[in-house]
Structures are given as structure tokens and as C-alpha cells.
Structure 1
Amino acid sequence: MLFRATSALRRTAVRCAAVIAVTAVVGLAGAPPVAAAPVTPEALRWAPCDDTDSLGAECATLEVPIDWARPDRPTFGLAVARREATDPDARVGSLVFGPGGPGDSGVERVVGGLSRFSPEVRRRFDIVSFDPRGVGRSNPVMCSDDLLAQRPSSDLESQADFDATLAYNKRLRADCRARTGPVFEHLDTAQTVRDLDALRGALGEARLTFHGSSYGTLLGAQYAETFPRRVRAMVLESVMDHSVSSTRAFLRSAAAAAQDSFGEFEKWCAEHSACALHGRDVGRAWQGLLSRAERGELEDPKKPGIPLSSSDLVNAVAFKTLYRATYAELATKIVEMEASSPLPAAPASASSLPSAAPVFCADWHLPVRDHQEYVSLVGMMNRTAPDLPRLLPLQMTAACLGTPTANPQHRLEAREAPPVLLSNALHDPATGYPWAVSVARQFGRSGVLLTYEGQGHGSVTRGPCMERAVDGYLTDLDVPVRGSRCPAVPS
């Protein structure tokens, strides 16, 4: 799940979060693969997970190098979990799930249940996932609570604010590095690609069967680029395009995807009496709430007496429901907030920078020269997404200012891979459809795009058409016909 709003972290893992899906300087060359000597992983030692509600999930730890360029140096433990195939006699092998975020826990995904996968996939595959390096139980990023509490606002009003943010980011990186250890300098997806290949070997699989979702699609695509002949089957669901060439281009595409989904919400309300705003001007009602939030007059529904910031209104209320395409829920929330009593006017609450996202910043070069350019980017995003100001991609841009990038954007070179199935909704607020089209083209003849003609972030289990296509590809390597599309189903 890309660019989610997250809570502040407490001396535990800094969850590299963000809800949306920031990017690079024009003309960055492709990052070369990490040079590494062969490493023979030990077989995984499975045991019941410690979680009391794991319901049969098994856990293990895989030792991998901190830096794959120096595999003889110290290692850390990569946390892994699995649920075995429900029909052992029909088992195909292991399917590895690449979690999103960045910062999502694959172990939690497996331990907590496997609703993302169809009954047929559950029947035929052991479902395996892991906590990527720096996340959850895999040497999590640790940072000072006090320093995190000092995060500046992303509403940079002057060059002095811009310079102060650069200085803060530098202090935070140093603090997190000191508390986390050397893994902090090796959190990029190019390193995780090597972890994934070690996991494939430890599972005893000659070739990898992989399902990556959202940020996990970046991992899958770079694995196919690095080890094309080690791929058996690969599903990339809700696709990130790591070739976007500039900060402005990335922010524009992110804003356009979000605004497109808000437009779908407006259309749904116009057509369905189940919408609590049916027959009304949805945009006007929403803008009224934004104005109240800007003035500090809109009460947070979850915190009586506390104002809800415009950033939280956009990212935690609207974007969360656009992710799931639960439009009736969003309409009802808008009506309920409209009816709430206004709080006494107060200075507009500023949005804080999201918690440090070291994985994200290690994968995306986010150059902004100065405050003047930052203001220009804000204006461009607000024109592109007038209903959704202060989207998290802009906040992530500020959070990554001045951060070195180990794995910058580049066009894929993965044309030697077997057929790779890409899946995307036409109206995805986080990973817009044009990204999936672009990545499919970068794969060349290897890229096959399956289009879900609906809304929301995530699509592989959206109705029988999608399930049949994905299940047939994973289990029997039946590749859908190019240009295949599946109709939208009600949320």
C-alpha cells in the first residue's frame, strides 16, 4: 500500500509509510545491480509464530548480508512467515508476497490472514512473505521519539523554512543511523532484491513465483531485471513506475491519479441514491469542509474537541476511502462532518512531515533546488488536484530533501524475463493507470497488462474475471491475452 498516513513512531520501527504513492532528477542513469558473490542460504527452520492469533502460520529467520556488495561482512535476520498450501497433493510450490508501503510487514500479512489471495491460490501454494530490511522484525529502523516530535511542517513558507527542513532531515538521518546500526545505510530495493533471491533459494525454489503489491511491484520489477531467468511467474498489482524522470513529473502524475479517483466518487454520487450526497454538489460540500479545516474549525471525529487538519482530512479521511473505493462510506462521513458544530476559529493547523521513510528516500531521488521551486511544485499539485491539497507525496518530497539515494529511478531492462502479469485498476488513486501502461511497455514482450475497469487500489481479487485470469497464470502459467480487461464489480 503506497503512501498511507501513519502514526508517530515510538522508539520502535520507523514505518516507512506514505499514501501515495517521490522522484528524481531528469536523465538519471539506471542504477547498476549490486555486485555480490554467491551466497548459499541455509534451509529455513520453521516453527509456530509467537503471535497467539497466528492460526497455523509458521515463522523463520533468514540470515542475509547487511550489504550484498560485501557478503562476507556482518549479517542480520530477515523475518519470514508462511502458511502452507491447503491442498498438499495439488501444491505447485511457494508463492512469495512482496509487501507494499514502503514499510508494510509481510509477516503480519501472513500471520493475520490471507484475504488478498483467492481460495485457488491458497490451495495450490504455500504463501510466504517477509518483513523487508528496516521494517518490523527485520532490524527495524529506530529513531529518537524526541527528535521525531520536532518534525517541522511541510508548509514551507520561506527559504528559511526550506533550509531548516534540510538541516532537520540531516539530524534525523544521523540519529536513526546511530540507533539502527549499519543496515540503515542499505535499505534500498536493490538490496532487498538480493534478500528476495536468497529467500527463493532457502525455500528450495529453482525459480521464483512472486506477487508484489503497490510498493512491492518495484521489488518485483527490479528482481525480474536483475534475475530474469530465475522468474517462474510474477504478478505486479497496482504498479509503481520507477522510471518517472523528475520530481515535477512524479508529483503531477500522483496528483492526477488522486483527483481522477475523487472525480469517480463524484460520478458515483450523481448516479446512486445510496450516496448520502446524492442530488447535491459534492465538490462544493467537500470544499466547505476543507475551508473549515483550514480555519481550524472542523472537529476530528475520532478526537472530540480537537481540530482535524486539512492534511488529515485529505489523506486520512478522503484518500483512505478512495483507496478502497468505498464511496458510500466517504459520502456519509462528509455529511456527518458537515453537521458537526464548528470549533472556535483557530490558526490553521499545519501538516507535519511524515515520519522518516528511509526505504522510500533510498529509492527515489527528490531534488528541489530551493523554496521558490517548492512553492511552484505546491501550486502545480493544487492545480492538478484542486480537491485534494497537501497530498502525502508532497510531504514525502520534503521528508526526503537532502537525502542520498542509493537506488535512483531508471527505465527497466527486463526483456529477457518470462511473461510478467501486471494488474491495475483504471481508476487507482495511488498508482495511476498510466504507470502500469508505462511499466508494461518497459518490459517489452514480457509485459502483459490486465486491466480492471473499476476503481480502487488493488485489483487481483475484484470479481471472478480477475481471479480466473490471475489464478490461471500463477498455477498453470496460462498468460492472459494481451489487452485483456475485466469489468468493474460493485465494492
Structure 2
Amino acid sequence: MLLEGRRERRRAAVRRAGAAAVITLGSVTAAVPGLTAESAHASPAHASPASLRWVPCDPEHPGAECAALSVPVDWAHPDGPSFGLALARRAATGPGTRVGSLVFGPGGPGDSGVDRVVTGIDAFSPEVRRRFDIVSFDPRGVGRSSPVTCSPDLLAQRPSPKIDDQAAFEATLAYNQRLRADCREHTGPVFDHLDTGQTVRDLDAVRAALGEAKLTFHGSSYGTVLGAQYAETYPRRVRAMVLESVMDRSVTSTSAFLRDSAAAAQDSFDEFVKWCDGTPDCALNGRDVRAVWRGLLARADRGELANPSAPDTALSPMDLVNRIALRAFVRPDYAGLAEKLAAMEASEPIPASPTSPAALPAATPVFCADWRFPVRDQREYASLVHAMTTAGPDVPYLLPLHMTAACLGSPTANPQHRLTARGAPPILLSNAVHDPATGYPWAESVERQLGSAGVLLTYEGGGHGSVTNGPCMENAYDRYLIDLQVPPRGTRCPAVTS
């Protein structure tokens, strides 16, 4: 989900954009060699393989090809203004046995599918790579596809998500309004059309442009929102679909979403503690891991904990949770986390200084357009924070709370709802039992919503992403994508130990 989109280079790119930066079609054309003046104004309704001019993306990454597809800013007005949707692909390594194109839906929101393809595609097995062209894209508002761009100075003024009183609540609402206006000015008209409902139409245009009668799709984390809504919108245009680390769009209440998020993160923290207690090589073995962690949180809250990546600055408690612990749970890397925590505990306190959480990605408006989480006032907000802390006592300040605060007062074009995909073929869901971001109960819920079309493949370990975790998972995934063989309902694969 949201853990995957925190890459430093993307935030740095947004900061470098400048207060007066304006993203234009011309700048996208320069960034993506496959976008020509002709394709920039072609009608998406007539997209065909010929409308994609594939050229090498980058000489440093041979084999990756890039192109761009013109799509409308607003699919309700397909003949109106358009922009270039950036794509990348790597051709099947066994062309004689090629099945077709497999489109990968990136997570975040804010992850670049183009970057994933250009720099490497280790999320797929060698057999899938042999049989499919791997294609991905930067969703609208992301990367090279008319990215959301905002004034760096204003982004840096983001209020704390703690919101201790009504005045702070109202200040957050006012800030969000100013930021939306600023981002709209610097991004252009696509800013008001960033929701996944629009991206579903973009994805179908990609399918048509690739010459595929039906879509073969793999969505990971936030990409499962796109995949599920595509199956709901175009159920009979799906050949095969994998939804890995599943988000549940039937969670409509703010409190339920935040509690579920906290419970998933807490479960991963509990697994880390259990592992450390039973592993002599853990750097904190024999210690009270939770006490060490609480001490680090307290130091961070006082502004006395040095940031490991920038020792002269203080690490905020928000970043200790989201950027240190939760990132380690994604892989998962318990040994590395224990070593890092031990080193931080042994470090000298720095002079107390104010801290602030790292900037949220500029693609936050994508999330706000997809999820309606109303909060009436600071009193209700405080009750939500309390509920999260109860569900996840060791993991306060989780990123979903930050996103909820950042979306206060924002319009929601594509609110969440129960999934219906009547007429869709079998859809393979994949989830780890101990996923820190998209808890296993969400995957179970989506399987129930899909009815006979949903089949959940369970990985009995941890981490965010699971389809290549060992031969059991990989073989089931490969057979489904290549031969459309669905694993028996209830299939569970053992955790792989390194």
C-alpha cells in the first residue's frame, strides 16, 4: 500500500521542481522518448499497437523500452485535453513461447511503474519473464505522467498529524485547502482527475494499444485498487488478474480503516519481537525489545534521537515508526531492524531540537480522490488516534493517519464501496498472513466479495508482497498466469526462511 511510495528520489524530485514549476505536455515528451507530437494528440478511442512508438529508455538499462500513450485528462470528455501516459516494457525472453503482455499496476500511490520496469523486474519469476512482455506505466499524477507538482516551501509547512486541539484541526483544514490550490495551479487540469476510476480507463487504453483482446494484470498493494476496479468495470475484458497484498475498498468508515491498518502493523511488530526473543543472533536477544523500542520513541518525541541517515538532525517519532520499523517489515528484515535499533539505543542523545515528519508524496491527492474518510472535528480525530493506539500500541503515528489528516476537507471523486465483478474470470489474490500494510483480513474480505471469482493464495510468513516467496507461491502464480490454472481454494504456502 502506502509503504512502497516513500522513495527518496521521488520526494527529492518534487522538492527540486520549484515553486513556479509547471508540468506541460512538452516536458513529458522530453522525458519519455516514445511520446511524439503526433501521438500526443491522437484520439485514445482509436489506440492501437501502431500508436505506441517503443524506443530504448536508457542506455544504462538495456532491454527496457519506453513509449507514451495519449489519454484524456477527463474520460468523461474523451475529445478534450489530453496528456502523455508514460509506459515501459521488457520483451518476453522466450519469444517463441510468448503468451502476451502482462501489465503491472504499481503501488503507493506514487510508485513509478516505468522505474520498476527500467531498473529491474524481480517481482516476476523467470518463467513469467520468458512467457510475457512485462509492461507498466506511471499512473496519472505520478512520475512522468503529468505528475502532481506543488510548491516545495508549502509542502515543507505540512502541519503535524497530532492535531491536539480544535485550532490545530482548523489550521490543518486551511492548510490542505491552500495546498490543493497550489498543486492544482502547478500541476494543471489533470489534478482534478486523479482518481482510480480515471486510471481504470487509462489501463483499458493501454490494453487496447498493446493489441490485447483481454488484459493480463498484476497489481501490487495500491495497484490492487486499480485491478479490482478494472475487473468491476470491465469484467469480460480480463484474461487473468493477480491482486497481491490486497487493499479492501469495502472498508468505508474512517475508524475501521485506521484500526485495521494499526492492527496489521502491530501484528508485524509482534512477529519481530517473537523472532528476536527466539533467535540468539538477534542484536536485541535477551533484552526487553518493547522497552528498548519505547525508549527510542520517547527520545524521538523529545527530539533527542539522531537520524541514522542524517546524524546531525533529529528523527521524528513518525519517521521512526514508518521509515525505520515499517520499512523493515516490508521485506521483512528482522535482523537488520534489530541491529539498527541496537545502534540507535547505544547512540548519544543529541541536543533536543524540533522534529517534523518527512514530507508526504506529492501523489497524496490520488489517495484523497479514492478514499472518503470524514472527520468532523478535533474531538472525533482524537478518538480515532486513541482507537489506532489501542489496536497498535507499539506503532503510533502510522502513515494512514498522516494520509487521513492530509485529506481532511478534500473532495472524493471515487469513494470506496463493496466490490462486485460479476462476469469476471477467476482472480488470484495473494497475501502474507503477517503483512504490515495490507492485513490478511483485507484479502479474506475481498475474496468473499468476489464470490466464486476470488481465490486467495496464502503465504504463511511476513512481508508486503509474496508471489515469489518460495516454490509453492511461485509455481501457483506461474501456472495461473500462463495456463490459467487456479490453485485449489484454501491453498497455503509455508514461510520461507533465509
CA distance in 2: counterparts of 1:438 and 1:170, whole angstroms:
34
Within a 5 Å distance, the mapping from 1:306-385 to structure 2 comes to: 306-346=313-353, 349-351=355-357, 354-356=360-362, 357-385=364-392
Secondary structure, aligned partner of 1:454: strand
Q: Which residue of 1 aligns with 2:48?
A: 42
From the superposition, tell whether residues 437 and 299 of structure 1 become closer, same or farther in structure 2 (CA, over 3 Å).
Answer: same
Q: Which residue of 2 aligns with 1:10?
A: 15
Q: CA deviation at 1:353?
A: 6.2
Secondary structure, aligned partner of 2:70: strand
CA distance in 2: counterparts of 1:150 and 1:345, whole angstroms:
20
Amino acid at match of 1:289: L
CA distance in 2: counterparts of 1:256 and 1:174, whole angstroms:
35
Q: CA deviation at 1:77?
A: 0.7
CA distance in 2: counterparts of 1:315 and 1:389, whole angstroms:
9
Q: Is 2:84–2:145's contact at 8 Å kept on the other side of the alignment?
A: yes
Structure 2 residue 463 is matched with structure 1 residue 456:
yes
Q: Which residue of 1 aligns with 2:33?
A: none
Structure 2 residue 466 is matched with structure 1 residue 466:
no
Amino acid at match of 1:187: L
Amino acid at match of 1:93: G
CA distance in 2: counterparts of 1:121 and 1:244, whole angstroms:
33
CA distance in 2: counterparts of 1:447 and 1:47, whole angstroms:
35
* Cα shift readout 1:44-93 (whole Å, capped 9, x = no counterpart): 43333342322111111111111111111111111111000000001000
CA distance in 1: counterparts of 2:121 and 2:393, whole angstroms:
37
CA distance in 1: counterparts of 2:18 and 2:148, whole angstroms:
5
Q: Is 1:299–1:342's contact at 8 Å kept on the other side of the alignment?
A: yes
Q: Is 2:44–2:71's contact at 8 Å kept on the other side of the alignment?
A: no
CA distance in 1: counterparts of 2:7 and 2:112, whole angstroms:
14
CA distance in 2: counterparts of 1:319 and 1:250, whole angstroms:
17
TM-score by length of 1: 0.93
CA distance in 2: counterparts of 1:323 and 1:473, whole angstroms:
25
Q: Which residue of 2 aligns with 1:219?
A: 226
Q: Which residue of 1 aligns with 2:298?
A: 291
Q: Is 1:440–1:447's contact at 8 Å kept on the other side of the alignment?
A: yes
CA distance in 2: counterparts of 1:76 and 1:353, whole angstroms:
27
Q: Which residue of 2 aligns with 1:67?
A: 74
Which of 194, 203, 209 is 2:210 aligned to?
203
* Cα shift readout 1:448-475 (whole Å, capped 9, x = no counterpart): 0000000000000000000000000000
Q: Is 2:460–2:495's contact at 8 Å kept on the other side of the alignment?
A: yes
From the superposition, tell whether residues 367 and 86 of structure 1 become closer, same or farther in structure 2 (CA, over 3 Å).
Answer: same
CA distance in 2: counterparts of 1:183 and 1:429, whole angstroms:
32
Secondary structure, aligned partner of 2:122: coil
From the superposition, tell whether residues 145 and 350 of structure 1 become closer, same or farther in structure 2 (CA, over 3 Å).
Answer: closer
Structure 2 residue 393 is matched with structure 1 residue 393:
no
Q: Which residue of 2 aligns with 1:26?
A: none
Q: Is 1:97–1:128's contact at 8 Å kept on the other side of the alignment?
A: yes
Q: CA deviation at 1:490?
A: 1.3
| Larger helix percent | 2
Amino acid at match of 1:282: V
CA distance in 2: counterparts of 1:95 and 1:434, whole angstroms:
27
CA distance in 2: counterparts of 1:467 and 1:488, whole angstroms:
13
CA distance in 1: counterparts of 2:75 and 2:372, whole angstroms:
21
Q: Is 1:353–1:395's contact at 8 Å kept on the other side of the alignment?
A: no
Q: CA deviation at 1:302?
A: 1.5
CA distance in 1: counterparts of 2:100 and 2:17, whole angstroms:
34
RMSD (Å) for aligned C-alpha atoms: 1.7
Secondary structure, aligned partner of 2:46: coil
Amino acid at match of 1:454: G
Q: CA deviation at 1:102?
A: 0.4
Structure 2 residue 286 is matched with structure 1 residue 279:
yes
Secondary structure, aligned partner of 1:10: helix
Secondary structure, aligned partner of 2:134: strand
TM-score by length of 2: 0.91
* Cα shift readout 1:164-207 (whole Å, capped 9, x = no counterpart): 11111111111111111111111100000001011101111000
Structure 2 residue 100 is matched with structure 1 residue 109:
no
Q: Which residue of 1 aligns with 2:89?
A: 82
From the superposition, tell whether residues 472 and 254 of structure 1 become closer, same or farther in structure 2 (CA, over 3 Å).
Answer: same
Q: Is 1:365–1:408's contact at 8 Å kept on the other side of the alignment?
A: yes
CA distance in 2: counterparts of 1:91 and 1:117, whole angstroms:
15
Which of 304, 309, 317 is 1:302 aligned to?
309
The aligned length equals: 468
Which of 166, 177, 182 is 1:175 aligned to?
182
Which of 395, 415, 418 is 2:422 aligned to?
415
Structure 2 residue 243 is matched with structure 1 residue 236:
yes
Within a 5 Å distance, the mapping from 1:423-434 to structure 2 comes to: 423-434=430-441
Secondary structure, aligned partner of 2:186: helix
Secondary structure, aligned partner of 2:79: coil
CA distance in 1: counterparts of 2:183 and 2:119, whole angstroms:
29
Secondary structure, aligned partner of 2:432: strand
Q: Is 1:48–1:56's contact at 8 Å kept on the other side of the alignment?
A: no
Q: CA deviation at 1:352?
A: 6.2
Amino acid at match of 2:334: Y
CA distance in 2: counterparts of 1:352 and 1:465, whole angstroms:
38
Q: Which residue of 1 aligns with 2:266?
A: 259
Amino acid at match of 1:2: L
From the superposition, tell whether residues 321 and 13 of structure 1 become closer, same or farther in structure 2 (CA, over 3 Å).
Answer: farther
Bigger CA drift: 438-447 or 283-292?
A: 283-292
Q: CA deviation at 1:237?
A: 0.3
CA distance in 1: counterparts of 2:249 and 2:46, whole angstroms:
30
5+ residue gaps, structure 2, are 20-42
Amino acid at match of 1:90: T
5+ residue gaps, structure 1, are 15-36
Q: Which residue of 2 aligns with 1:270?
A: 277
From the superposition, tell whether residues 278 and 204 of structure 1 become closer, same or farther in structure 2 (CA, over 3 Å).
Answer: same
Q: Which residue of 2 aligns with 1:481?
A: 488
Q: CA deviation at 1:5?
A: 3.8
* Cα shift readout 1:88-117 (whole Å, capped 9, x = no counterpart): 001000000000000100011100011110
Structure 1 runs (4+) greater than 4 angstroms displaced? none
Q: Is 2:6–2:361's contact at 8 Å kept on the other side of the alignment?
A: no
Amino acid at match of 2:348: S
Secondary structure, aligned partner of 1:440: helix
